[in-house]
Amino acid sequence: MQKRKLGKSGLEVSALGLGCMGMSFSYGPPADKHEMISLIRKAVERGVTFFDTAEVYGPFINEELVGEALAPFRKQVVIATKFGFKLDPNGGPKWVGLDSRPEHIKQVAEASLKRLRTDVIDLFYQHRVDPDVPIEDVAGAVKDLIRAGKVKHFGLSEAGAQTIRRAHAVQPVTAVQSEYSLWWRRPEAEVLPTLEELGIGLVPYSPLGKGFLTGKINENTKFDSTDFRNILPRFTPEARKTNQTMVDLLGRIAERKKAKPAQIALAWLLARKPWIVPIPGTTKLHRLDENIEAVKVELTSDDLREIEGASSKIKVQGARYPEQLDKMTGR
């Protein structure tokens, strides 16, 4: 597996990471814990060194899963987790708001360390920008945790350019995690130029469009009742039918390259910048292997021009999130 550095931070990780959220959360019922431990360990065997989780995934059970799975390999992997949600005080499965108060950040860090079975968090992201807490206070709290040896690197998720600059001035930001793929390119406008200027890495989540860009989902696909794609405007049957044109484009390139549509989508991201590290998620070993093979797919300048030209003519139908969730992206 090739390695990449997240910006100028010196944090080196595998060119593809593994997003672990879907093993416990969001995409239907949690998968079998022992099978997922096995899958995570097989990812390590295949050279993946970068694993992504968060306290809110479950909540808590995804961190516990990742901690148990990676305990035997702790020194050779990078674990990223996140803070910033206010969880149901009655122990329910839903978050009830945002909370990035410094004292809360420090409480989350202590709890995450225990669940992850580690003495240090490699990369600690603010999960969503909290409009009620100045980002300088957030960065300051993480700076304290870094000084205390409990965190190595600071990250932001779904933050806008202004927020990134303000945070970076207090505590250097190693990576920004944002949704980014061929069908969600908003980060290109302001976020990517800011990251390039400041020397910060980008970690695209949902690099396969929450599964859509694999070509395995169509207008007739039925999701489990607990699958959060049921509430996404982009995943209505009508939107899926219209958005099939993006998958068809990937399919055409894939056929020529003797690859799969998902591999083309990942190879496109890897070709964008050397400091971009996508974190596709899966619960299936054959998908893990397919994704890892994307690192070997080389897109020529002609391929990239073709993708750019064809995709620019495609208007993706449907918002990526319902309005109340879309508001939770930074400025």
* Catalytic annotation, residues: 57
Q: What is the DSSP letter of 74?
A: G
**Smallest Cα–Cα separation from 39: which of 59, 54, 26, 22?**
22
Query: In terms of C-beta distances under 8 Å and separation of at least 24 residues, what long-range contacts does 165-168 make, across chains too?
Result: 165/194, 165/198, 166/135, 166/136, 166/139, 167/135, 167/136, 167/138, 167/139, 168/139, 168/198, 168/200
Length of the chain measured in residues: 331
Amino acid sitting at position 165: R
Cα–Cα distance for residue pair 147/138, rounded to 1 Å: 14
Residue 256 burial (CB < 10 Å; 0-12/13-18/19+)?
Answer: exposed
Cα–Cα distance for residue pair 145/328, rounded to 1 Å: 25
**Which residue(s) pair with 181 in the sheet?**
184
CB 62 within 8 A of CB 53: yes
CB 50 within 8 A of CB 80: yes
Which residue's structure tokens are 């205390």? Answer: 148
**Smallest Cα–Cα separation from 148: which of 120, 113, 171, 107?**
120
The SS3 assignment for 19 reads strand
**Which residue(s) pair with 18 in the sheet?**
51
